[in-house]
Every structure is written in structure tokens, then in C-alpha cells.
Amino acid sequence: MGQNADYHSTVSKQYRQLLKQCKVNLDRNDQELPAAAEDFGELLKERGVSRRAFIKWTSLMTGALMLPPIFKPALARAAEQFSRVPVVWLHFAECTGCSEAFLRTSYPGVADILLDTISLEYHETIMAAAGDQAEKCLEQCLHDFPGKFLCVIEGAIPLGNNGKYMRLGPKGKTGVEIAKEVTSKAAATICIGSCSAFGNIPAAKPNPTDCVGVSKAIGVHTINIAGCPPNPVNFIGTILHYLMFRDVPPLDGLGRPVWAYGKRIHDYCERRAHYDGAEFVQQWGDEGAKHGWCLYKMGCKGPYTYANCSQVRFNDGISWPIMAGHGCIGCTEPGFWDTMAPLEKQIHEDTFGGGQATIDTIGTTLLGVTAAGIAVHAAATACRHRDNKSETK
Amino acid sequence: MGKRIIIDPITRIEGHLRIEVEVENNVIKDAWSSITLWRGIETILKGRDPRDAGLIVQRFCGVCTYVHYEASIMACEDAFKVKPPPNARIIRNLIGGAQYLYDHVMHFYHLHGLDWVDIVSALSADPKKAVDLARSVNPDPYNCSETQYKAVQQRLTKFVKSGRIGPFANAYWGNPSYKLPPEANLVVLSHYLDALQVSKIGAQMMAIFGGKNPHPQTLVVGGVTSVMDALDASRIGAYLYRLKELRDFVDRAYIPDVLIAAKYYKDEGLAGVGGGAKSFLSYGGFPLDESDGAMLFPRGIVKAGNLAKPLKLDEAKITEEATHSWYKGSEPQHPFKGTTDPEYTGYDATGNLKGNEKYSWCKAPRYDGQPYEVGPLARLVVAYAQGHKEIKPLIDNTLKATGLPATVLFSTLGRTAARALETVYVGNHIEGWVNELVANIKKGDTRTWTKCDVPKSGEGRGMTEPPRGALGHWVRIENSVIANYQAVVPSTWNCSPRDKAGRRGPYEESLIGTRLAKVDQPLEILRTIHSFDPCMACAVHIIDPQTNEIKKYKIL
């Protein structure tokens, strides 16, 4: 009993200290960051977000970032500072899907405002200037905000052909050159999407241009907002965390923020009960598909994939792939085009012998269900180990 | 020799594009268009399960998301010899239709708008006069009031005062080639801000049946997976509700704003600025029944502006070659037989493109040996020349209302107007598709997938008309895996470098003769290039994986 009380007092003391530090950080941000172009309170009013709705949002976001409720006011301040952080957004070997997700994703209320008011000092998809004038925008930002801006990178970096599969700007610089130049002056580097995080599609076998993620290409630490494309809410939360703690959020071994990528799709999937009840879609459009049964046998990679898609969904929470009847393809995991392929087939057979038979017989006894559950977890672990190896080799 | 101007990066597009022009007395004499990134996705496809190809090639491009997914699935269905059931065809059209609506809106305002609109000039507009101007082209303009326009001006003023105008920094404000009066600039700017919200609605429409946007995940060879959404009346309702909102914006903002632009830029349209070679190609898109024939956009060719003599399209005449591309070889090849072997030769000593040699990662597609423009203008011109019963009156009525001749179509302005007109045309049809889906389900047909399996070997092609123009994917299957994959995409047609005979690609040709008001501000170049809606990522994957080996390159 007494031990327990000690524990609680220690924890709450630690949190209070952390909160104190948080306030110091936010004060420092207030002094260091450039002034806001628009007043946050007015923006909320303009968009019809009430004070009450805003407070509700801070509770949700604080919880999502795995912080106790005493951090709500600090998070509210971080939200106010959000639009003041200068952001340089670079495009390398990519498809602009992450930018599109960012520009076109909608959330009710506050998150939408944050996405709309972010200070993009350089972003080729939306900036008015081009050529020399665009280059000047970048130089200006590096000059005005050294060590203060966030560098966001979309796209992998090709190393093959001396990096010359990609040459950018009036001087025809390579991705490696630009990435080194910009990240060396940035406060932190955030990789948005699986390409900049892990290489992703251009790095899929046989990786014709020798593409790699940013961290591997230039040896800097990056925060990896994985996904193809990722959910922009994971980006927002990460920046808020950065503002509050002036540090990167806790990351997993692959550089992904734990608060967003710490849970497995499978464990929070709306179809999970059907998995446990051994109700599986057997072919596209069958009766099971019409009733929303589990897509495991259609190759769903939810059991091997760590992300919060099932909880936050996409496009104003309207849907996500499993809701649309297609299995997860594992897009937040490194090397998924190879390790999860074929994407519409079960892959556990080679990592976990005899899995097919196990799945077919489960549901007969409760014990069977539990065994299969454990089996899949084991397969997932094996798969993740394999990913790590292939990525770090 | 004139002065060489380099614009790199071309911004407000997807991907990495470099344009170089030679200018004499402010007039463009010659032009080179170069794609500066290569990823080699076709190489990556070799040896994979063909059913994975759609999800992979979708990552060609996140702006024209979905369309490569669809073309790839169509190519596989051709090779698997399977036909999706009617519900699947309709759901694909619903996803593709949503794409047209939001993509064209986003292009006009966010990617192209700032070539027409001087936002700094909007600050000096009289909000009351702006209301009058907006009402002169539409009786009930979108989000139009003095209060709204004043609020937009205040918001912009605050931005300018803060000194942090983000994406609006360093642009060409005040350039004499901006022709709109302050009030018109204000009206369009106000809609630029509205469109940020509106285009999200279109993305939601796509997500209802597609799972998410960008990169939906619902198509499979033989059909679609979102059967639960199709059977759920509330999902259909959610889609229709958003369709109404989006079409409302198109009718009361997008179209009137293009008409305003047409009013003030008509002289350039009449002079044919940005017109190019006037040869147009369309593969046809949005199948309307199971017959393989009836399509919303017809298939065909118009050669050298000859509207009186539309031609039939013969797929066998499509070729690509690489004389001026960073790949080996110079002989034209049909996509089924194409070879691609990278040969990078870099820039010249002064850092310019080597215009007489190889200078782009983009190949040169040709039809019957000639370059062709693809996209909204191509689709409408082909349909117009064929006397299409809906598209011809749509164009004729617009021309009549603006008092402009049909020749105005062959210009930068015409290209931009065509995009707006076809948004209306597609929008008019979507609700009918929804009704067709509902009627079909009510009849008891709930099929969304036709059973099929990967053949041991086979060959197939998927040809369609996504927003940016004619798109074709060609797949060859051997031993049940992909042996060869080729995509000839809209921006490859338009961004094409010169061919063996020295014929320029459509971007290049369209720039010739354009006068720059200020040589150090490439505004007119951006306006014409953006009118094609460039999207480069997809255009640079044109590689035939005959061999997985990547050769050593000589860096010059």
C-alpha cells in the first residue's frame, strides 16, 4: 500500500516537473518564434470552433500524445504557436501524395485550422514563385531562421548514378546535397511518408536508383511519420509535442513516434471481433464481405502493421482501407512492398509454418481461437524482425 | 543566339520539371522541357504478382492518385480476360468522377490561379465593385458579399504586414502581364481560399468508396472491394450530399471565375498564345455500359487543328522513342515491345540542358510519328470535331455567350477553359451513375467482383482518360508474374522532348513565340506550362525491365 502511494507521488512529481519545463519551453518559443500572421483565437472564431470545442480537442490530443490531463493548457499554447514555426518542405523522389494528404485531408475543427495555417516558407507544390525566385525563398528562410525552422522531407533520396537520378533547382543540385544543406540548419527533420522515412516504393526490389530514406542517406536523426501516405494528424501531434518539449517525441526503433505508431492495426480493428469469431471473407464481394467480416484471408497485413489508422481513419474520419473492404497493405512498415507481398495473399505461411491449417480449424473451440491469436502475434513478431534486418543491412 | 533562361524548379506542379527557353527581344525562340527525376518503378514491377501492380503504380503520382491504379487494374483485367460486374464499373466511375471535380478545382485555383491573379493588386480593390463584377457573370456568386471581400482583404493585409507571406513570397506581383483589374483579382482570390476547403469535400467523396484519399485502396482485378459502402444507403447519401456541394462551387465560383479570366485575357486567347501544334488525342474514358464502346468521353484524334476531319485512333500507331531522352536507343517502339536502358549524360559545362543531345528523363511518345497533346482540351476538341451531342453544344453555347470564335480554344486560355467546361460535363453525369447503381442493387444485383485468377501468361492494356489526359498501361504476364510493364502517361505526351526528326514536344512547341513582359519573371511561361496541368512523377517511370541490370553511367 505504502509502496503504491510512493509510486504515485513520484510519478506525479515527475509530471509536475515536466509540466514546469514545458512552460519554460513554451515561453522560450514565444520569444524566439516569428510573430503569428493571424490571431489564433480569431481564427477559431472565424471557423466556428467554440472555446468548448477547442478545449475538448485539447483533451483528445493530450490523451493521444499519451500525456495526462494536466498538460491540456500547455497543449493549447502549443496549438497557438503551431502556425509560427517556419517550415521548409522538400520534395525528393516522391509522388506528392503526402503533400496531397496534407492539403486535402480534413478534420473537424482545430486540426483543420492547424493544417491550413502552417507557415510553409518553401513548398514547391503550392508556392507562387518558381525557378530563381523559388530558390531565393529557400535561401531566405535558411538565413532568417537558422536552427529554428523544421525541415519536412517528402520522398526518398536516390544515391545511384552519383545521386544524379534527381537534380533540382537552377544549379542542378542532387538530393543528397540539398538534404545535407537544409537539414544541417534545421531545428529538427521530420520525414513525412514512408519514402523519406524508409525508401518505400522507389527502394522496392530491385531498387533501380539505389533510393534510401533520409536518415540512411545523410546520417541525420529523423522523426519518421510513416505511411503511404501517412495520416496528417500524426504530423500535427508530433509538431505540438516538439513545441511543448523542444524535443522529439518518444520514438520506436524505426524512428516513428510511439504515440501514433505504438499500436497494431489488428488490435484496434473494427473487424477484430470477426477474426476472433473465425468469420472470414473468403473471396471479394462474398457474403462475408457484405457483412464486414475479417479480411485476414484476403491478405490483410493488419496483424503485422503498427499504426493508428483504425482509430483516426482518413478524410474527416470517413473511411480507411479495411472499412472499404480491402486488407491493410502494411504501408507504415519498412520494405512493405517486398515483405508484405503479395499484398492480397496471406503471407504468414513462410514465417509461421502451418498457419493456414490453424486458421481453417479455429472457431471449433475457444482454445483454437486463442492459439491462432498467439500464432499471429508470433508471426507478426517474426515479420517485424525480418523487416528490421532488411532495412538495416 | 538569344538569351537562355532556366526555370527550375517549375513550382505548383507535381514533381520535378525544368524548362529552358531561348529569348530574343523578349520573345521565346526555342524551348526545352526536361524531367529531372527518375525512379524506375516499371523495373520494380518485374517478377511481381500482377494483382499488386495497381497499388504500386498508383504511387507513380499522388496528385493523379487513383488513375494509375485503375489503368493498371484494367490492363490486368484485359490480360486475365475478366470483366468487372456493372456495380464495380459504376463505383469506379464514381471514384473517378470525384477525382475530376476536386482535381480540376484544385488545379485552377491552387496550381494555376496565381498565373492569372495578382493577389497584391486585390488589396486595392473596392469590395463593393467586386460584388458587382462577380454578379455580372453569375446571378448568385459563391460566398460573395462586401463583408466577405473585406475580410479577405484584411486577412491578406495582416499577412503582408507580418512580412511572412509564405507561399506567396517572391512571386511576380505587379508584372504587366497580369491583366485582371483589382476587383477581379479579389473575387478569384476569395474563391482560392474557399477552394482549399471545397477540394477536401471531393477527397471525402473518393474516400467513401475508396477507403481514403490520396491513394485509395478498393480496386481489385475483377471488381471493387467496397461492397458494404455500396449496399449502405447512408454512404450513397453522404456521397450525393458532397457531390451537390462540390457542383455548387463549380457552378457558382469556378465557371464564373474562368469567364472573368476569359474576359480580360481574351486578346491572348485570340492571338493563340500557348496554342502549340494543335494535334489532339483522346483514348476515351468513363465506360457507360458493359459493351466496351459507350464512353462519356469519346476516343479519337484531331490532327493539326483540322476540326472538319476527326480521325479514328489506331492503338498500333502509338510509339515511344528516346533520341533526346536519357535512355539508350532512338528507334520508335510500341509500348508492348519498348526497351529502356538509362544513359545519363548530364548538363553542359555552363549548367544548361544539352538541347541537341539527350536532355530529359521523359521519353518522346508519338502517334503515327507525330507529337500529340492530351488532356481536357484534347478530349473536348476530339468530341467537338466528332459532333458529340452534349459536348458540342456545351462549347458552342460558351463561345456564343463570350462572343469568341472556336479558334480561341487553341491557346493557353482555351486549355484552361476546356478544363472548367468538362468539370461541368462530368458533374452533370455523376448523379445518374449513382441512380444506376441504386437501381441495379434494388434489382437484386449485388455483385462487385467477377471471379478470376492470374493466368500463366497473357498480355493486356488499360486505356483511360484521367483528368490530365490519355493514359495507357501495358502489361505482359509470364509464369503468372509480370514480365514487362509500360505506362505511357499524360505528362509524357505533353512534356515530351524532341524526337529523332527534331519535332518538339507539346510544352516546348506551345512556348514558341510567347512574349515575356519581363525576361527575369517567367510568368507567361508558367501560365502556359501550368495550363497543361503538369504532373511529372508519373512521366518518368518509362522503363522496360528487359533486364534488371542497371548500367554504369558516364557523368559528363
Burial status of residue A35 (CB atoms within 10 A of its CB: 0-12, 13-18, 19 or more): exposed
Please give the pLDDT value at position B257: 97
- Residue ranges of alpha helices (H) inside B271-341 are none
Closest-CA residue to B509 (of B316, B176, B280):
B280
Please give the pLDDT value at position A114: 82
Residue A378 confidence (pLDDT) above 70? no
Please give the pLDDT value at position B15: 61
Option in A200, A325, A341 nearest B228 (CB): A325
B215 vs A contacts (CB less than 8 Å) = 97, 228-229
What are the φ and ψ backbone dihedral angles of B79, each rounded to 5 degrees? Answer: -75, -35
Can A2-261 and A265-349 be said to share one CATH topology?
A: no
Please give the pLDDT value at position A107: 66
Residue whose entry in the numeric block shows the C-alpha cell 522538400 = A90
| Beta bridge pairs of residue B486 | B474
B148 Cβ neighbours under 8 A, 6+ residues apart = B190
SS3 letters across A213-277 = CHHHHHCCCCEEECCCCCCHHHHHHHHHHHHHHCCCCCECCCCCEHHHHCCEHHHHCCCHHHHHC
Please give the CATH architecture assigned to the domain spanning A2-261.
Answer: 3-Layer(aba) Sandwich (3.40)
SS3 letters across B394-426 = HHHHHHHHHCCCHHHHCCHHHHHHHHHHHHHHH
Q: What average pLDDT does range A165-172 have in this prediction?
A: 77
Closest-CA residue to B260 (of B379, B368, B133):
B133
The answer to whether B521 and A128 have CB atoms below 8 angstroms apart is no
Option in A98, A130, A205 nearest B10 (CB): A130
Q: B294 is written with which cell numbers? A: 459507350
Q: Is B521 helix (H, G, I), strand (E, B) or coil?
A: coil
Closest-CA residue to A290 (of A279, A281, A301, A299):
A281
Give the residue extent of every domain in chain A: 2-261, 265-349, 351-380
Q: A347 is written with which cell numbers? A: 503471407
How large is the angle between the packed helices B412-442 and B233-249, nearest 10 degrees? Answer: 160
Q: Which residues of B are catalytic?
A: 14, 61, 64, 68, 468, 491, 535, 538
- The number of C-alpha atoms within 13 Å of B462 and in the hemisphere containing its C-beta is 30
Option in B204, B347, B446 nearest A106 (CB): B204
Output A379 or A202, whichever has higher pLDDT. A202
**Average pLDDT score over chain A:** 85
What band does A108 get if pLDDT is binned at 50, 70 and 90? Answer: low
Residue A126 confidence (pLDDT) above 70? yes
| Angle B505-B510-B511 from CA coordinates, rounded to 5° | 110
Closest-CA residue to A324 (of B102, B82, B199, B69):
B69
Please give the pLDDT value at position A356: 43
Output B167 or B536, whichever has higher pLDDT. B167
Please give the pLDDT value at position B266: 95
Please give the pLDDT value at position B34: 83
Q: Domain A265-349's class?
A: few secondary structures
B364 Cβ neighbours under 8 A, 6+ residues apart = B320, B321, B322, B323, B324, B325, B371, B496, B497, B498, B499, B505
Residue A350 confidence (pLDDT) above 60? no
Residue A353 confidence (pLDDT) above 70? no
Q: What average pLDDT does range A10-17 have in this prediction?
A: 89
Q: B35 is written with which cell numbers? A: 524531367
| Angle B222-B226-B231 from CA coordinates, rounded to 5° | 115
Using alpha carbons, list the distances in angstroms from residue B50 to A298, A325, B335, B460.
Answer: 16, 20, 17, 11
Please give the pLDDT value at position A384: 38
The answer to whether B306 and B312 have CB atoms below 8 angstroms apart is no
Closest-CA residue to B469 (of B371, B376, B367, B365):
B376
Output A205 or A368, whichever has higher pLDDT. A205
Please give the pLDDT value at position B253: 98
Put simply, the answer to whether B43 touches A319 (Cβ < 8 Å) is no
Residue A128 confidence (pLDDT) above 80? no
Option in A36, A201, A326 nearest B59 (CB): A201
Please give the pLDDT value at position A333: 96
Residue A361 confidence (pLDDT) above 60? no
B171 vs A contacts (CB less than 8 Å) = 127-129, 133
What band does B536 get if pLDDT is binned at 50, 70 and 90? Answer: low
Q: Which of A75-84, A152-161, A377-386, B242-251 has the lowest mean pLDDT?
A: A377-386
CA A88 from centre of chain: 18
Please give the pLDDT value at position B554: 23
Residue A357 confidence (pLDDT) above 70? no
Using a pLDDT cut of 70, give the percent of chain A over it.
87
Q: What average pLDDT does range B116-128 have in this prediction?
A: 94
Please give the pLDDT value at position B23: 87
Please give the pLDDT value at position B13: 66
The answer to whether A102 and A192 have CB atoms below 8 angstroms apart is yes
Burial status of residue B139 (CB atoms within 10 A of its CB: 0-12, 13-18, 19 or more): exposed
> What stretch of H or E contains B366?
strand B364-367
Q: What average pLDDT does range B17-46 have in this prediction?
A: 84
A320 vs B contacts (CB less than 8 Å) = 211-212
Put simply, the answer to whether A325 touches B44 (Cβ < 8 Å) is no
Residue of chain B whose alpha carbon sits nearest to that of A327: B217
Residue type, B245: E
Please state, in angstroms and rounded to a whole number, the distance separating the CA atoms of residues B8 and B29.
Answer: 19
Put simply, the answer to whether B347 touches A134 (Cβ < 8 Å) is no
Please give the pLDDT value at position B438: 97
Per-residue pLDDT tens for B45-81?
A: 999 999 999 999 999 887 788 999 999 999 999 999 9
Residue A359 confidence (pLDDT) above 50? no
Please give the pLDDT value at position A109: 67
What band does A100 get if pLDDT is binned at 50, 70 and 90? Answer: confident
Please give the pLDDT value at position B14: 63
Question: Which of A87, A293, A319 to probe by mutation at the B interface, max B CB count within 10 Å?
Answer: A319
B198 vs A contacts (CB less than 8 Å) = none
pTM summary value:
0.90
A179 Cβ neighbours under 8 A, 6+ residues apart = A90, A92, A153, A157, A214, A217, A218
How far the first Cα of chain B sits from its last, in Å, is: 24
- Residue ranges of alpha helices (H) inside chain A are 2-32, 40-46, 51-64, 72-81, 97-104, 110-117, 131-144, 175-183, 194-198, 214-218, 232-245, 258-261, 272-276, 287-290, 309-312, 336-339, 348-351, 355-361, 366-392
Q: A254 is written with which cell numbers? A: 524505426
The answer to whether A160 and A209 have CB atoms below 8 angstroms apart is yes
**Average pLDDT score over chain B:** 90
Per-residue pLDDT tens for B508-531?
A: 999 999 999 998 888 999 899 999
Per-residue pLDDT tens for A262-284?
A: 999 999 999 999 999 999 999 99
B20 Cβ neighbours under 8 A, 6+ residues apart = B4, B5, B6, B7, B31, B32, B34, B352, B353, B355
Residue A382 confidence (pLDDT) above 60? no
Please give the pLDDT value at position A369: 36
